[in-house]
Amino acid sequence: MSSQASHRLQVLSNHLKAGESLQVACSAISEFRYTLPNSILTQNQREFYERNGFLVVKGLVKPENIDIYREHFRRVCNGEVHLPFLTVMKDVAIAKSEFVSGEKAITKIQDFQHYEPLFNYCALPEILKYVECFCGPDIMAIHTMLINKPPDPGTKTSRHPMHQDLNYFPFRPADRIVCAWTAMEKVHRANGCLVVLPGTHTETLKQHEYPEWENGVNKFYYGVKDYDPNQPRLHLEMEKGDTVFFHPLLIHGSGANKTHGIRKAISCHYANTGSSVIAEDQLLGSQDRKEIGAIVEKRLGKDTQISIVDTWKMRARVVQGKEADF
């Protein structure tokens, strides 16, 4: 790694340790693209996000809130919660196992926008005040997830390949989309923390496909087809309640959970309610659209006339400001 790249990683690491008082050793930015004028972010924080595509805010979500989300996740895993559009996903290596049940079998639940105890996270004032810095005052939640990374069964299938979230979303412009991702316990390299490639949010949306991993890959875990593996990367080690906000074009992923414990995080992607929607043939690749179409058909029936883009519109839920334009 070059000395310049090493210096940049050191600056980024200092940001993670310093929290609100971060100092970025760079010249000032004269024009802002990825953040909006606001009274929440400091000048340094705005410049950091503009350059790197992410921002960590220490201790943003209260422990008591996280404990409530943990309990409701447990209820979902135990079959105590039944909602028609709630998606429960299992690891490909243990999905067919009769010996693994409960939380250890579940890698993720998503689409909980109509399950109020979990959607409470998406509407937290402490989260929304930061989201407004990226999306503006009119905000909708477009994708909800509680990610549960059980101990890896030895197959490394608990990894998530490096990807860009915009690959999945039909909403534009990308610069008015942001993800809030909150650690529900201490996350570190051993239990599979997030890994980011700083600055890649300034690049275009890249082609994605399933990685060719020996033991398979979880459904819809697409990875960027071509990126420089030698590009400086940063592991976001975070404490319970720490929250990272990141751009949908930022290339990121996570490693395998090599510990005996379970690593949890809760997240929500937000967009401005005035967002436009791209045509379906511009969304994902043809094989990806086919897979998602099969899921829609399974849930709603073969005769259902609804596009993948329409399913995203159905998922969107306004949390602040004006109603959506679509």
> Does 33 fall in a domain?
no
Q: What is the pLDDT of residues 62-76, one digit of tens each?
A: 999 999 999 999 999
**Quick check: is 295 in a domain?**
yes
d(CA 105, CA 93): 10
Structure tokens at 253: 């992923």
What domain range includes position 152?
A: 57-320
- pLDDT tens for each residue of 25-60: 456 787 999 999 999 999 999 999 999 999 999 999
Among 144, 147, 166, which residue's Cα sits nearest to residue 158? 147
Amino acid symbol at 144:
T
pLDDT for the residue numbered 160: 82
- Phi-psi category of 98—alpha, beta or left, where left has phi over 0 and alpha has psi -120 to 50? alpha
Residue 75 within any structural domain of the chain: yes
pLDDT in tens, 57-111: 999 999 999 999 999 999 999 989 988 888 888 866 554 554 456 777 888 999 9
Task: Count CB atoms within 10 A of the CB of residue 7.
Answer: 12
CA–CA distances in Å: residue 154 to residues 78, 158, 250 = 25, 9, 28
Apex 7 CA angle, 6 and 13, nearest 5: 90
Please indicate, yes or no, if residue 252 is contained in any of the structural domains.
yes
- Residue 7 belongs to some domain of the structure: no
Count of domains forming the chain: 1
SS3 248: coil
Q: pLDDT tens digits, residue range 116-175?
A: 999 999 999 999 999 999 999 999 999 999 999 988 877 777 788 999 999 989 999 999
The amino acid that residue 281 corresponds to is D
Q: Is residue 169 part of a domain?
A: yes
Question: Which CATH number belongs to the domain containing residue 165 in this structure?
Answer: 2.60.120.620
35 within a domain of the structure (yes/no): no
Flag whether the pTM goes above 0.95: no
The alpha carbon of 122 is separated from its chain's Cα centroid by a whole number of angstroms, namely 13
The verdict on residue 253 lying in a domain is yes
Residue 20: pLDDT band by 50, 70, 90 thresholds?
very low
Angstrom distance (rounded) from CA 127 to CA 61: 8
Average pLDDT for 289-313: 70
